[in-house]
Each structure stands twice: as structure tokens, then as C-alpha cells.
């Protein structure tokens, strides 16, 4: 815990006086749950927590903070994994939690569009889309906790990017409160609009550093009436990628997920959950969990069966779910692997991407290098390989001391990132930079990119009050 400085106390008192009753929390006990992210790895005590009920509350708050020179960090579901929404240590930031702005404002199945507030939990929005016989296709493990403002601010990825794109591709409009408290209203549901600069693109993926997203309009899609889920066993990552090449062509853009899981991941899942058995008749080095979806006029079951049956020698074994329950059980393997991989402790997460044609080389080279340098560590490899996105995580041996873990994580990350660099890849495919990936980002970014990013930051937030120190390093202004 850190001390609150006298000038911070004065500013906080002024903020209390300005804000409506019930918006601002600053009692120590109230701040705890806004201080730590979902992983528990990232921690920082806020000066206070604002819980606005409306865009006007956010606007007033920012006007005050702008006047008082108070730093602010917007916060969604705290599931972002790069420490972007956790208050900075040693403090001084006011957290703006959007959790009370959680309504679906409107939903229109003819426009295939919905408007939601930033604090709306993704799963709630998805459920409402389904009630209108549509889908909101942003899909990932954290969907029961993450909030759509955060999804948009981080341009979240997930399982269905392959078919439906990143969150960016699904955003039709935004409502944003700027650093000085003014409200920018770009909350449209038009599917085509080429009037001048597309300002919303700047806020999407800027991790709260350029404005506070308060509402979002999103594309929906027709709700599929058929979903086919299959798990197949293969000899190698090369074969998995060859299967992907066939799948893209044979499944006519109906493929909605293509997840790679190495054998180790399947073992973690099976050991972690009593209901899960080894899914195929014998173990295989590599698995692919794939899904296709369609409306009623396609024989989707035949399509998936025929495609797999005709995939030559690539598919060694496989199972197609005979029911939704079986399909969900296949997905449970994927979820349990993620949940159980760290054995409840800390581990290194990476989130990298390479061109699709380099996936197999990247996996082989990285694992080989890690095995030589850190034979004691467990490497867990999986990913959304249809997008070239791999999560290669490194779990320390049981009983390793915290200091040694830090060393292992740094060294292992350097090894993985070196391979990424050789393949022209990205050290952050879908999670963003936040604070956790900043060192690695800055090291690799070319100076012109950083200069242009700095100019944008200065243009939108000249006092650097919003999420300072995320993406770009802290800088005196």
C-alpha cells in the first residue's frame, strides 16, 4: 500500500465535491476489487474509483480531472492480460469503472446492429443478440466477465476472427468522452459511411489512451441454425496447417474456428476435469478443434464429414460432435487447458502472430530453443492458427522461487520473441501492449511509428491524463 500525497488529497476532495453522490469511491476497502486484474499478476492501488451511471457522469468526471490534473484509467472487466486497466503503481490514478453503464441500448435485427453501453458484459450482449435470432460473434474464454468497452478499446480477438474479423471489424460506431470531458458522438449503425476521417478507428485498440469509450454500436450476423464441431488428431503442426489450407477452400467461408492444440494441452485439460477423457482412441502430437456454422439450406454435417474424409493422409483420427452437448464438451477441452495450464500459479503468457505460412516453423523453432535453454519448464502451445495467432506459454517447474520465475519468464520470452522477429511476426497479436508488453514493443518499434503515435497521443490527450504509461512510455508534458 502506498501513501496518498497531500496534493492528491486536495484534488480528491475537489473531485468528491464536484461529482454526484454515489459515483466516487475512495474508501480503502472499496478499492480492492478495482486494484487487481483477473490473473492476479498485476496490481496497483487507485486514488479513487468512479462508477459513472451515464455518459454525462463520465463527461463531468473528465472535465474535473482535466481541470485538476488528475490521471485517469478506464476499466472494463479486467481480463485484458497486459495490465492496461490496472491502476499504475505507485498510484495517483482515478479508475473509471464502466460497470454500471451496462445496458443494451437498442437492438435491430433488420439492420443487424446493436448499441450497447461500454460496461455491458459481452455474454449479456451475445445473449440479447441471440434472443433477436442474431449473433454477436466476438467469442472468447473471458466473455462472462469482459465488458464491451474494453473489448473495443483493446480490439479483442478470440475464436471467430477467422470468419468474422477482429472486434474492430465489428464496430459500426462509438460514443467517446475525450480527455477534456467533451463527448464525441459517433454512435451510428450505418454499414457504409465515408465521410472524412474515420475517427472511431483511432479509439479502437488504443487501450484507453485517447478517450473513454462509453457506448458502442456493433454488427450482428444471422444466427446459424447448424453448428458442426470436430476434433482431429494429426502428426505435426505442418499437417495441421496443410489441413487449414484445405479447410479454407472446402468450407466456403463457413469455417468459424480453427484452433491448434499440442498434445500437452490436451493432457492438461484431461487431468484437470473429471468429465474429460482423452478424446481420441490414442494420443496424437497435434490436435485441431474446428467449427463451421450455417443456416438451414446447407447440409453442413455432410460438408464437414466429406471435407475431413477427403483430407487425404492429414487426418489420422477424429470425432465430429453428434450433438451440441458433445460439441460443448470438445470446447471444454480447450477451456480447461487454458484454465489449468498454470497449476494455479504464475506462468509466462505470450500472444504472438506470424504469417500463416510461417506458423509451423515458428512453433518448431521456438519449442526446440526453449527445450535446449529451459528443459525444466513446461511449454504449452495452442492458438487461433487460422489467423496466424499462437499462444505459447511457459509454466515454471513446481516449487520454483518467485525470483527465479522472473528470470525464466524474461529469458523464455526473449527466446520466443527472437523467433517471432525472424519470421516478421508480432509480439502482440490480440491482447495489446498495456504495460506488460511495453518494453518488448518499444524495443522493436521503429522510431517513426513511435513518433507518429506520440503525435496522435498529443493531439487527443495533450496533458497525458488518460491511461498514461500504457502503450507509450510515461512522458512529462
Query: What is the footprint of a second copy within residues 60-119 (CB under 8 A)?
Result: 108, 110-113
Q: Does 205 bind a second copy (CB under 8 A)?
A: yes
**Segment interacting with a second copy (CB under 8 A) among 16-24, 140-148, 302-310, 400-408:** 302-310
Could you tell me if 437 and 81 are in contact, meaning their C-beta atoms sit under 8 angstroms apart?
no
- Residues 389-418, interacting with a second copy (CB under 8 A): 389
Q: What is the DSSP letter of 359?
A: H
CA-closest candidate to residue 352, choices 285, 441, 290: 441
Q: What is the DSSP letter of 228?
A: E
Cβ nearer to a second copy, comparing 169 with 277: 169
Cβ nearer to a second copy, comparing 7 with 449: 449
Position among 13, 20, 127, 185 found at the interface with a second copy (CB under 8 A): 185
In sequence order, what DSSP letters do the residues of 276-344 get, joined into one string? ---SSSS--SEEEEEEEEE-TTS-HHHHHHHHHHTSTTS-SEEEE-SSHHHHHHHHHHHHHHHHHTTTT
CA-closest candidate to residue 67, choices 194, 165, 180, 223: 180
**Which x/- pattern, by CB under 8 A, does the window 238-277 give for a second copy?**
---x---x--xxxxxxx-----------------------
CB of 442 to a second copy, least distance (A): 9
% helix / strand / coil in the chain, to the nearest 5?
Answer: 40, 20, 40
Backbone angles phi, psi at 211, to 5 degrees: 175, 165
Q: Does 195 bind a second copy (CB under 8 A)?
A: yes
In sequence order, what DSSP letters do the residues of 110-157 get, joined into one string? TTTEEEEETT-BHHHHHHHHHHTTEE-----GGGGT-BHHHHHHTT--
Cβ nearer to a second copy, comparing 92 with 224: 224
CB of 175 to a second copy, least distance (A): 12
CB of 174 to a second copy, least distance (A): 12
Position among 46, 52, 425, 469 found at the interface with a second copy (CB under 8 A): 425
Query: How far is C-alpha 449 from the geometric centre of its chain's CA atoms?
Result: 23
Position among 432, 435, 465, 467 found at the interface with a second copy (CB under 8 A): 432
Could you tell me if 445 and 94 are in contact, meaning their C-beta atoms sit under 8 angstroms apart?
no
Cβ nearer to a second copy, comparing 99 with 461: 461
Position among 398, 403, 446, 476 found at the interface with a second copy (CB under 8 A): 446
Which residues lie closer than 8 Å to 404 by C-beta, 6 or more apart? 396
**Segment interacting with a second copy (CB under 8 A) among 33-41, 94-102, 141-149, 156-164:** 156-164
**Segment interacting with a second copy (CB under 8 A) among 43-51, 258-266, 409-417, 425-433:** 425-433
Q: Does 312 bind a second copy (CB under 8 A)?
A: no
Position among 428, 465, 466, 469 found at the interface with a second copy (CB under 8 A): 428
Cβ nearer to a second copy, comparing 32 with 458: 458
Cβ nearer to a second copy, comparing 294 with 392: 294
Distances (CA, A) of 185 to 80, 173, 350: 25, 9, 36
Exposure string (b/e) for 410-421, b if CB count within 10 Å is 16 or more?
eebbebbbebbe
Cβ nearer to a second copy, comparing 124 with 141: 141
- Residues 278-297, interacting with a second copy (CB under 8 A): 294-297
- Distance CA(90)–CA(8), nearest Å, equals 12
- Distance CA(302)–CA(217), nearest Å, equals 36
Alpha helices in 374-436 (DSSP H): 402-422
- Residues 24-43, interacting with a second copy (CB under 8 A): none
Q: What is the DSSP letter of 1?
A: -
- Distance CA(470)–CA(45), nearest Å, equals 16
Cβ nearer to a second copy, comparing 266 with 433: 433
Cβ nearer to a second copy, comparing 28 with 297: 297
**Which x/- pattern, by CB under 8 A, does the window 458-477 give for a second copy?**
xxx----------xx-----
Q: What is the DSSP letter of 376?
A: T
Cβ nearer to a second copy, comparing 13 with 190: 190
CB of 226 to a second copy, least distance (A): 9
Q: Does 439 bind a second copy (CB under 8 A)?
A: no
Residues in the chain: 477
Does residue 434 sit in helix, strand or coil?
Answer: coil
Which three three-digit cell numbers place residue 195?
465521410
Backbone angles phi, psi at 110, to 5 degrees: -80, -40
How many residues touch a second copy under the rule CB under 8 A: the total is 92
CB of 427 to a second copy, least distance (A): 7
Position among 32, 193, 376, 404 found at the interface with a second copy (CB under 8 A): 193
**Segment interacting with a second copy (CB under 8 A) among 4-12, 91-99, 259-267, 301-309:** 301-309
Cβ nearer to a second copy, comparing 109 with 235: 109
Q: Does 216 bind a second copy (CB under 8 A)?
A: no
CB of 57 to a second copy, least distance (A): 19
Amino acid at each position: 500500500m502506498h501513501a496518498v500525497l497531500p496534493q492528491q488529497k486536495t484534488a480528491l476532495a475537489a473531485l468528491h465535491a464536484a461529482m454526484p453522490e454515489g459515483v466516487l469511491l475512495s474508501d480503502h476497502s472499496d478499492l480492492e476489487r478495482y486494484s487487481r486484474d483477473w490473473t492476479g499478476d498485476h496490481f496497483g492501488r487507485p486514488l479513487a474509483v468512479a462508477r459513472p451511471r451515464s455518459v454525462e457522469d463520465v463527461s463531468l468526471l473528465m472535465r474535473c480531472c482535466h481541470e485538476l490534473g488528475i490521471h485517469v484509467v478506464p476499466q472494463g472487466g479486467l481480463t485484458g492480460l497486459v495490465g492496461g486497466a490496472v491502476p499504475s503503481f505507485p498510484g495517483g490514478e482515478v479508475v473509471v469503472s464502466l460497470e454500471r453503464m451496462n445496458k443494451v441500448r437498442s437492438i435491430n435485427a433488420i439492420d443487424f446492429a446493436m448499441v450497447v453501453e461500454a460496461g455491458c458484459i459481452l455474454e449479456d450482449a451475445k445473449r440479447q443478440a441471440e434472443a433477436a435470432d442474431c449473433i454477436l460473434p466476438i467469442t472468447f474464454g473471458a466473455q462472462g466477465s469482459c465488458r464491451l468497452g474494453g473489448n473495443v478499446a483493446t480490439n479483442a480477438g478470440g475464436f471467430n476472427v477467422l470468419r468474422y474479423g477482429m472486434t474492430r471489424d465489428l464496430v459500426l460506431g462509438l460514443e467517446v468522452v475525450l480527455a477534456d470531458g467533451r463527448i464525441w458522438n459517433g454512435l451510428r449503425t450505418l454499414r457504409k459511411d465515408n465521410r472524412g476521417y474515420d475517427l472511431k478507428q483511432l479509439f479502437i485498440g488504443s487501450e484507453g489512451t485517447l478517450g473513454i469509450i462509453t457506448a458502442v454500436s456493433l454488427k450482428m450476423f444471422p444466427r446459424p441454425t447448424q453448428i458442426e464441431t470436430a476434433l482431429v488428431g494429426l502428426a505435426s503442426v505442418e499437417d495441421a496447417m496443410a489441413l487449414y489450407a484445405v479447410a479454407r477452400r472446402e468450407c466456403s467461408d463457413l469455417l468459424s474456428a480453427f484452433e491448434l492444440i499440442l498434445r500437452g494441452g490436451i493432457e492438461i485439460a484431461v487431468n484437470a476435469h473429471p468429465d474429460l477423457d482423452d478424446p481420441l482412441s490414442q494420443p496424437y502430437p497435434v490436435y485441431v478443434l474446428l467449427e463451421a456454422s450455417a443456416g438451414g439450406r446447407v447440409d453442413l454435417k455432410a460438408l464437414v464429414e466429406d471435407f475431413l474424409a477427403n483430407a487425404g493422409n492429414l487426418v489420422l483420427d477424429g470425432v465430429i460432435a453428434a450433438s451440441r452437448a458433445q460439441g460443448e464438451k470438445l470446447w471444454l477441452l480447450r477451456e480447461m487447458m487454458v484454465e489449468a495450464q498454470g497449476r494455479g500459479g504464475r506462468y509466462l503468457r505470450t500472444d504472438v502472430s506470424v504469417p500463416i505460412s510461417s506458423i509451423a516453423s515458428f512453433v518448431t523453432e521456438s519449442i526446440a530453443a526453449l527445450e535446449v535453454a529451459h528443459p525444466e519448464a513446461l511449454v504449452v502451445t495452442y492458438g487461433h492458427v487460422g489467423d496466424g495467432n499462437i499462444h505459447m506459454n511457459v509454466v515454471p517447474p513446481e516449487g520454483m522461487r518467485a525470483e527465479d520465475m522472473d528470470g525464466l519468464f524474461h529469458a523464455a520470452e526473449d527466446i520466443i520473441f527472437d523467433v517471432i522477429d525472424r519470421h516478421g511476426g508480432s509480439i502482440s497479436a490480440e491482447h495489446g501492449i498495456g504495460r506488460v508488453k511495453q518494453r518488448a514493443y518499444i524495443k522493436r518499434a521503429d522510431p517513426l511509428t513511435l513518433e507518429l503515435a506520440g503525435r496522435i497521443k498529443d493531439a487527443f490527450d495533450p496533458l497525458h491524463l488518460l491511461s498514461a504509461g500504457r502503450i507509450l512510455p510515461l512522458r512529462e508534458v
